[in-house]
């Protein structure tokens, strides 16, 4: 399997490029617009063909590359069914399968950071992994105070859905700010300080007390992402 | 296998923590001193015991955590046989095996960035990877203009040693500055702009023309690393 985790330093965003091998179909998760040329170069060098581009949710801290990648490669753009980004070609629901040559992702509805956030689960003989967007981060979780966020829904998504995927499942989030690149369900279940041993009410209290400023890119990124980064 | 790639934003250094599973022995490659507490926390959370700490070479851009990790865990510190860092417990030569429970690394002498640089090759049923330090970077290579660096030796190490490891071998360097986290021998052989299709003389000319400033930490880091980061 070809698996490439790519990092945008400006927004600390992780993007994932996945294919079952050289010369085959590929998909990308949470691509960042300003790295579009890097992705296109890498697709060419790895001799893989981009056929699906997925955003886990409407990002508030960077502009998506979904539109530019569709223009450049004719890939299908995908988000969850509750997105307001009508620009995407396909909207997926809980349990839907996204399939390319040799790779299948299962869509999991995981609201809480936003009301339209999905995670994507890869269960392969070589690798079990979940791409959690911003709902579950490494030893943390995405804020729940805007874009339809809700700490109780976040807790439910993480504890009652993601934590049931099996301890060895790797966790690949859309962000990390401390130099971590991946985790596992086991680690987050046992050691995520916001969640381990916490009730939903305790988690909600932690999330309500964060008092974070809005992302500096929010006023630009959200409207841009509702049109797949292709605003005029 | 537990495999964790960790990133130091200040120096863009990658550190690798590897174990064959929870509850087992671990090794770390190119740890950064200021993240020592993070490593110790992660060792505890993953329930793994650090028994080997390796530096690929004497770094000029950050201070090693080898000394602090030895103090905290009684791990064996390791560098290549030509290091001047007499503080390390063990010096390895070409072909030597570094073995912990379920994991074996082979030491490869790969001078060029410095005259004492080693790479470490992991050949496992689940993963083939080479930890290249600074000699081979993703679509680049480490500078060759100080610490006994030599562009011809760098070319020879990369082309005649690392490139023979097999196309599917993953390449994990000690640095990346552009948001890439890994590569493969195939990609570097075919697409590294300094090396693909280049003669040793052409490569040497490219390296001689880089005219890079010295790393800002060099005057502090090199002396500190010669005593494993434990200067008084």
pLDDT reported for residue A232: 55
Residue A188 touches chain B, beta carbons under 8 Å: no
Contacts with A41 (C-beta within 8 Å, 6 or more apart), sequence order: none
Query: How far lies A84's CA from each of A59, A137, A217, A226, B52, in Å?
Result: 12, 24, 19, 6, 51
Residue ranges of chain A with per-residue pLDDT less than 70: 232
pLDDT reported for residue A217: 85
pLDDT reported for residue A140: 97
Is the CB of A179 less than 8 angstroms away from the CB of B8?
yes
Chain B partners of A7 at a C-beta cutoff of 8 Å? Answer: 7, 179-181
d(CA A162, CA B142): 41
Q: Give me chain B's average pLDDT, please.
A: 96
pLDDT reported for residue A203: 98
Burial of B127 (0-12, 13-18, 19+ CB in 10 A): middle
Closest by Cβ to A191, choosing from B9, B45, B186: B45
Supply the DSSP symbol for B147: T
How would you classify the pairing of strands A128-133 and A170-173? parallel
Q: How confident is the model over B54-66, as pLDDT tens digits?
A: 999 999 999 999 9
Of B220, B229, B218, give the one whose Cα is nearest residue B87. B229
pLDDT of B41 over the 90 cut: yes
Q: How confident is the model over B99-113, as pLDDT tens digits?
A: 999 999 999 999 999
Is the CB of B187 less than 8 angstroms away from the CB of A46?
yes
Check: CB of residue A147 under 8 Å from CB of residue A191: no
Q: How confident is the model over B110-164, as pLDDT tens digits?
A: 999 999 999 999 998 889 999 999 999 999 999 999 899 999 999 999 999 999 9
pLDDT reported for residue A216: 83
Chain A partners of B5 at a C-beta cutoff of 8 Å? Answer: 181-182
Residue B132, both tokens:
């290249």
What distance separates the 2 farthest-apart alpha carbons in chain A? 49
Residue A110, both tokens:
């995981």
Is the CB of A179 less than 8 angstroms away from the CB of B22?
no
Closest by Cβ to A7, choosing from B4, B181, B190: B181
Is the CB of A6 less than 8 angstroms away from the CB of B186?
no
The CATH code for residues B2-92+99-211 is 3.60.15.10
What mean pLDDT is predicted for residues B45-59? Answer: 97
What distance separates the 2 farthest-apart alpha carbons in chain B? 49
Query: How far lies A206's CA from each of A147, A193, A200, A210, A217, in Å?
Result: 18, 10, 10, 7, 24
Chain A partners of B181 at a C-beta cutoff of 8 Å? Answer: 4-7, 181
Interface test with B, best of A181, A184, A185, A195 (most B CBs within 10 A): A181
pLDDT of B27 over the 70 cut: yes
pLDDT of B231 over the 80 cut: no
Is the CB of B181 less than 8 angstroms away from the CB of A45?
no
pLDDT reported for residue A69: 98
Supply the DSSP symbol for A30: S
d(CA B161, CA B168): 15
d(CA B9, CA A221): 24
Residue in the structure block whose two tokens are 């000319």: B205
Which residues, in sequence order, are bridge partners of residue A3? A18
pTM of the model: 0.96
CATH code 3.60.15.10 for A2-211: yes
Check: CB of residue A206 under 8 Å from CB of residue A212: no
pLDDT reported for residue B232: 55
Interface test with A, best of B179, B189, B190, B191 (most A CBs within 10 A): B179
Question: What DSSP line would sit under A33-86, residue for residue?
Answer: GGGHHHHHHHHHHTT-EEEEEE-SS--SSS-BSHHHHHHHH-PEEEEETT-S-T
Report ipTM for this prediction.
0.94
- Sorted by where each begins, the domain ranges of chain B are 2-92+99-211
Residue in the structure block whose two tokens are 């971590």: A180
Check: CB of residue B71 under 8 Å from CB of residue B232: no
């Amino acid at each position: 399997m070809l698996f490439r985790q790519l990092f945008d330093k400006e927004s600390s965003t992780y993007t994932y490029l996945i294919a079952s091998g050289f010369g085959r179909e590929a998909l990308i998760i949470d691509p960042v617009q300003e790295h579009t040329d890097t992705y296109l170069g890498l697709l060419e060098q790895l001799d893989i063909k981009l056929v699906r581009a997925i955003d886990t949710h409407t990002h508030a801290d960077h502009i998506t590359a979904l539109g530019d990648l569709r223009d450049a490669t004719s890939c299908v753009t995908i988000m969850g069914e509750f997105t307001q980004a009508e620009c995407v070609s396909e909207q997926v629901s809980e349990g839907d399968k996204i399939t390319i040559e040799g790779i299948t992702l299962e869509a999991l509805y995981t609201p809480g950071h936003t009301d339209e956030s999905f995670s994507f689960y890869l269960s392969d003989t070589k690798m079990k992994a979940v791409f959690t967007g911003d709902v579950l981060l490494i030893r943390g979780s995405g804020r729940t105070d805007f874009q339809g966020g809700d700490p109780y829904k976040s807790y439910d998504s993480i504890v009652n859905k993601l934590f049931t995927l099996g301890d060895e499942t790797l966790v690949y989030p859309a962000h990390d700010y401390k130099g971590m690149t991946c985790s596992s369900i086991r680690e987050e279940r046992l050691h995520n300080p916001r969640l381990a041993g916490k009730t939903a009410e305790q988690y909600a209290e932690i999330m309500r007390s964060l008092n974070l400023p809005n992302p500096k890119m929010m006023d630009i990124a959200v409207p841009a992402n509702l049109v797949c980064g292709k605003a005029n």
